[in-house]
């Protein structure tokens, strides 16, 4: 059993029919020279990696661009194709006046299972009142939240809005919501680790993609940037496997993580158990 907790479905064929929108999306999200992938091909790739669950993360900065790159309807359309495989996350641009209405609709009508936000793209800090209004809705509906954390390769993204430590206030303010920080908050991996250590509702995912290939980057982050026993001794229940597809193929990402010597027990948690626990939390 393996859940990939970080997939951007930018290239999923069913939502790539409008070529103008597809090109705008790829330009904004910084995906180039790549073509849409059919759903059958994606399933073959998931089977190859042993993936049995996929978190689908949307993209909406329409306050700036006027175009929703990956909408809640897009996510719902993909989830409907295989509800046992896909976990669809909602998003809204909190700067839009109808953000609250749209998020409520995504939870009530589309049945999406949580919220994804990238504050680096939004150019607002996590404790901005516009974000807090959105998080209040998540608390009301018992939905958990994935925040992009650390460097983002997407266009106009600024890391100062997504440094892991900037999320501490909301993680603290909403103890009943589980928060997952993506990419281990790279390059501020130690800030992420500190939050994971302190807050029971703080999680992070392994979607690492920057320097080196997967054999090198996981070793650097988990055994050098972090103490080599930090995961084994303290954080084994706080880290979710995430590939970061399509920037890296899931099977390669997993192979890199497999190679660094975590025990089978730890890997089972990272690959499956922690994702299930992250999804299952409700407001106390």
**If you ran DSSP here, which 8-state letter would residue 12 be given?**
B
Binding test (CB under 8 A) with other proteins, winner from 210, 220, 237, 277: 210
CA distance 52 to 266: 18
Q: Residues 203, 179: contact at Cβ < 8 Å? A: yes
CA distance 136 to 115: 12
Segment interacting with other proteins (CB under 8 A) among 221-229, 243-251, 261-269, 270-278: 243-251
Please tell me whether residue 220 binds other proteins under the rule CB under 8 A: no
Angle of helix 39-49 relative to helix 250-258, nearest 10 degrees? Answer: 10
Please tell me whether residue 29 binds other proteins under the rule CB under 8 A: yes
Please tell me whether residue 39 binds other proteins under the rule CB under 8 A: no
Query: Cis peptide before 39, with omega less than 30 degrees from 0?
Result: no
Binding test (CB under 8 A) with other proteins, winner from 1, 38, 81, 282: 38
Per-residue contact string for residues 42-81; x = within reach of other proteins by CB under 8 A: --xx--x---------------------------------
Please tell me whether residue 216 binds other proteins under the rule CB under 8 A: yes
Q: How far is CA 271 from CA 10, 37, 39, 242, 277, in A?
A: 23, 24, 22, 9, 12
Please tell me whether residue 95 binds other proteins under the rule CB under 8 A: no
Give the footprint of other proteins on this chain (CB under 8 A).
Answer: 29-34, 38, 41, 44-45, 48, 153, 209-216, 246-249, 251-252, 255, 259
């Amino acid at each position: 059993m393996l859940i990939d907790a970080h997939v951007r479905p930018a290239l999923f064929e069913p939502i790539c029919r409008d070529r103008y929108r597809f090109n705008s999306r790829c330009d904004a999200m910084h995906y180039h020279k790549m073509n849409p992938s059919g759903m059958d091909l994606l399933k073959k790739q998931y089977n190859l990696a042993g993936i049995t669950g996929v978190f689908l993360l949307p993209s909406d900065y329409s306050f700036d661009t006027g175009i929703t790159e990956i909408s809640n309807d897009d996510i719902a359309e993909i989830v409907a194709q295989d509800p046992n495989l896909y976990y669809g996350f909602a998003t809204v641009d909190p700067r839009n006046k109808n953000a609250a209405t749209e998020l409520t609709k995504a939870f009530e009508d589309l049945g999406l299972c949580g919220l994804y936000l990238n504050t680096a793209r939004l150019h607002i800090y996590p404790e901005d009142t516009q974000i807090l209004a959105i998080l209040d809705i998540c608390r009301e509906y018992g939905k958990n939240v994935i925040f992009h954390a650390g460097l983002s390769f997407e266009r106009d993204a600024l890391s100062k809005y997504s440094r892991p430590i900037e999320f501490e206030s909301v993680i603290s303010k909403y103890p009943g919501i589980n928060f997952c920080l993506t990419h281990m908050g790279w390059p501020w991996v130690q800030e992420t680790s500190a939050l994971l250590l302190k807050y029971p509702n703080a999680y992070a995912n392994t979607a690492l993609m920057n320097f080196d290939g997967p054999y090198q980057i996981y070793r650097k982050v988990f055994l050098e940037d972090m103490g080599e026993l930090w995961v084994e001794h303290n954080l084994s229940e706080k880290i979710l496997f995430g590939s970061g597809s399509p920037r890296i193929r899931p099977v390669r990402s997993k192979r890199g993580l497999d190679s660094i010597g975590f025990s089978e027990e730890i890997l089972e948690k990272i690959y499956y158990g922690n994702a299930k626990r992250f999804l299952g939390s409700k407001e106390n």
